[in-house]
Structures are given as structure tokens and as C-alpha cells.
Chains A and B, each alone.
Chain A
């Protein structure tokens, strides 16, 4: 049983660029549903902030082999594509750090996998 996110271009992305991620899984049975979402969260000394920027149902995403979206299969792979926003950048400061995360979930077992995205002008996390 595996669930994974593949980022063909790696984790570093520039603002406004196209994020392309493949969500692949192999299970004995077909999942009942699932979703993928992209968001950012802060961490550090203070209370955290989170924001979901995009949410999509896996069943509505195209297959990697370009066939039309259908019911989820036991072994499947879907493509999530999104034009990234201008910010906020991924950064790490003394009090605050901000990370972008792509999260995929499969029902009914709430299987979860995450992949960190770095959003910045040069694809590297900013250090303040």
C-alpha cells in the first residue's frame, strides 16, 4: 500500500510558475474518495496561521496517462496543476517560518501524504 506525491520539477518553484504534482497510490481496494490541497502555514514562537490556497477532489483530476477523469481506482495516478500565486514566499526567520505544503488524502482510512513546496524567486527558502 503506497500513497505518494511526486514533484517532477522538484520542490523549488517561482511565484507565478506552474506547479505540477502527481499523486500516485497502490491499494488493494479502490478508495472511496480523496482530495489534494495546497496551502501555507506558519510556525515559530507565536500562534500559527494557516491558509488553504487550493483544494481539489482527486476524482476530478486528470489521470497521468491523460485519460478522462473517472472513478478512483485501486492503483491510480492523478495530476494536480496550479498556477502558483505571487506569495507569500517560503521563509525562515528568527520568530516565524512559513512553509508551503501539498497534502493528499485518501478515504476512508484518511491516508495522508504531504510534500513541501518552496515558493520564492529563486526556488530556495529565504533566510531572514
Chain B
């Protein structure tokens, strides 16, 4: 464990920073949000008179102009007149001037509006005491926690035995081996949650803004941020459904198998009993890695595919014989080039919107046993 941490120090430090910031930020903003909700409930209802409007100008982080609606109003408490200018507990600004104009148009000057004030400090007053927006955005720091946790889990995952060259039979290890999928489901789920949460909220907010005060800019923002947020939320939901959906459990009778040998494979589909149709197959893959620009790319080509069993709603568990062809290539683990043998589980799941099962479980194939000379 400590060796793993030492080996992956940058990853661990990065993840702990994200995790700490995310947990602290989420806790802090939730505490503030709850305190604000309680405070809002204690506010007393009264009536305010709108006296004037203004559009306050500001700058965003890029230096572009932003517009923030300000409503000036008065209220009378115990004969004393107090002034207020807040609409709600949170303030929203937009790069579209029309947004501020539309908000202000909802509060015509001279009209009387319900408002809420702190009984101890009547000048602490708002026209809208909803805290839903503040509560929603208080969840944004959670994104850091999700990403930090995902990277930490990935860093602390027990490293697979370093494999270079060939698959070898380890003396003393003869028992069955439960295979693990090549997909990192927990990592995918946490990372997708980490991105979907803030982008989903920002996207949702931009769509609401475009809906309430349509303009070219707000619609453009809704298209970009809303689209990105929606896409990321769909990604997260698919990851979640994949985790919650049917999954294969596979057990090979021995840790390795030689070319030309046959071996028993126990299989079972676990999880919800959704209608499905698919197959279990023995697949041989060439995998090669190279650098394109600054990116590392891995290309894959399937050189062998043999169906082991058809899967459907009735055939969900059993034992099949995996016959590895004799005249083929054994597993090869080199730095950039690999020959990988996998048990592929591919199944279409009943509801069309449910992600299909598409998992690869690696098995180690040794060179064929040479006849004794």
C-alpha cells in the first residue's frame, strides 16, 4: 500500500487536494445554505414599494461586460421607512443586457410587492426569499470531491502485477480465478458525476435564463452550456445505469491457459433481471499504442472471435468450455504492443435507453506446451 502511494505520489497529492477542497467546500456551502434557509424562514412578510430601477455594470473574469438588475424599494416598519435593493439572497448577472431589463420589467416602478424582512433589522429585506438557487450551487464543490475521490481510488487501486513479455504460470497458483473487467466503472462514475454536477447546473441555469428572457446571447449561451451540461448529465446517467445494470461474473478454472488447451468458465449475469440478448465470446486482440501530436492513441484490432454461449433472459448462468486455438498467438505484454485475450460479454439490454453490456475480461494465454523431445 505504502509502496503504491510512494510510486503514485503526484496522483495521490492531486486527488487529496481536490478531495479536501471538495469535502470542505461542500460542507461549508451546505452549512451556509442551511443557515440561510433557516434565516429566510424567520423573515417577516410585509409590502414594499418599488421606487426605481437600475442596471449595474460589472466585468466577468474575461473582462467582458456583465449586467446585474437592481430594484430599489422601500418598506415601512413601525412607522419607520427602510430602503432595500436586493431581489433575492443570491444575485444573478448576465452578459446579455436584455436579461437585466427583463427582470426589472417584472417590478414596475410605483407598484407594491410582497417582500420579507428580518424583524430585528428591517433594512435586511428581499423581494424573493427562495433559497433554491443558493442550495443548488452549494453542491458545485462536490464536483471536486467526486473527481478527487475518483483519482484517489484509481491511484490506490492495487497495481496489477507488472507484466512484460509472456503470460506465465505462477507455481502454486492453480485454483480458479474470478476475472475482473477492464473497464474502471467506479472511476467513470465519479468522474462523470464530477463534471456533470457543475456543468449541469450552469447549463440548467443558462437554459432557464434563455427561457425567461430570450435574446441572441442568452440563447447562444443556453445552446453551448445547456448542450454541454445535458451531454455530461447523459454521460453520468449512462455510467450510473451501467453500474446499476446487469453485469457479468466470470470464473476461470485456472489463472492461465495454454494455446491449444480447453478450460471451464463459470458465468453468471447479476443485477436487475432486465430482458437482454447477447453473447459471451473468446476474443483475441492486437493492441498498439503510439503518440499522435501530444496524445497517446491506442489502436485495437480483433484477430480472433469465437462465440462461447448465447445469452438471453433465460440463459443467465452456467459453465462453458473455452477452447483456445492452438495455432494462434499467446498473450504478449510489451510496453507499446500487446496481444490480449479476453472474454467479451456483449448484450443488448431490454429498454433501448439502457446502456448495453459491453465488458472485456482479460485472460492470460501462455504459449503452447511443447512436446517433450
Give residues in A with beta carbon < 8 Å to B. Answer: 14-17, 42, 44-49, 51, 86-89, 91, 93-96, 98, 121-122, 126, 128
A94 touches B332 (CB 8 A): no
Q: Is B329 an interface residue (CB 8 A)?
A: yes
| Contact (A86, B290) CB under 8 Å given A48-B336, A128-B303 | no
CA A94 to CA B373, docked complex, whole Å = 34
B residues in contact with A93, CB < 8 Å = 286, 301, 303, 329, 339
Q: Is B288 an interface residue (CB 8 A)?
A: yes
CA A94 to CA B87, docked complex, whole Å = 66
Give residues in B with beta carbon < 8 Å to A. Answer: 165-166, 284, 286-291, 298-301, 303-304, 326-330, 332, 334-337, 339, 366-368, 370, 373
Known: A46-B298, A48-B337. 6 other contacts (CB 8 A): A15-B370, A46-B289, A46-B290, A88-B367, A89-B329, A93-B339
Question: Closest chain A residue to B164 by CB distance?
Answer: A51
A96 touches B166 (CB 8 A): no
A49 touches B335 (CB 8 A): yes
A residues in contact with B327, CB < 8 Å = 121-122, 126
Most chain A CB neighbours (cut-off 10 Å) among B286, B299, B326:
B286
Q: CB within 8 A of B288: which of A14, A45, A121, A122?
A: A45
A-B contact count (CB 8 A): 91
B149 to chain A, nearest CB (A): 33
B336 touches A47 (CB 8 A): yes
Q: CB within 8 A of A94: which of B301, B330, B334?
A: B301
A86 touches B286 (CB 8 A): no
A residues in contact with B366, CB < 8 Å = 86
A residues in contact with B166, CB < 8 Å = 86-88
| Contact (A98, B289) CB under 8 Å given A15-B367, A86-B367 | no
B336 touches A128 (CB 8 A): no
B282 to chain A, nearest CB (A): 15
A residues in contact with B339, CB < 8 Å = 91, 93, 96
18 A-B Cβ contacts within 8 A?
Answer: A15-B368, A17-B373, A47-B289, A49-B334, A49-B336, A86-B366, A86-B370, A88-B165, A88-B330, A88-B332, A89-B330, A91-B329, A91-B339, A93-B303, A93-B339, A94-B301, A96-B339, A121-B370
A96 touches B337 (CB 8 A): yes
| Contact (A51, B165) CB under 8 Å given A86-B370, A89-B329, A128-B286 | yes
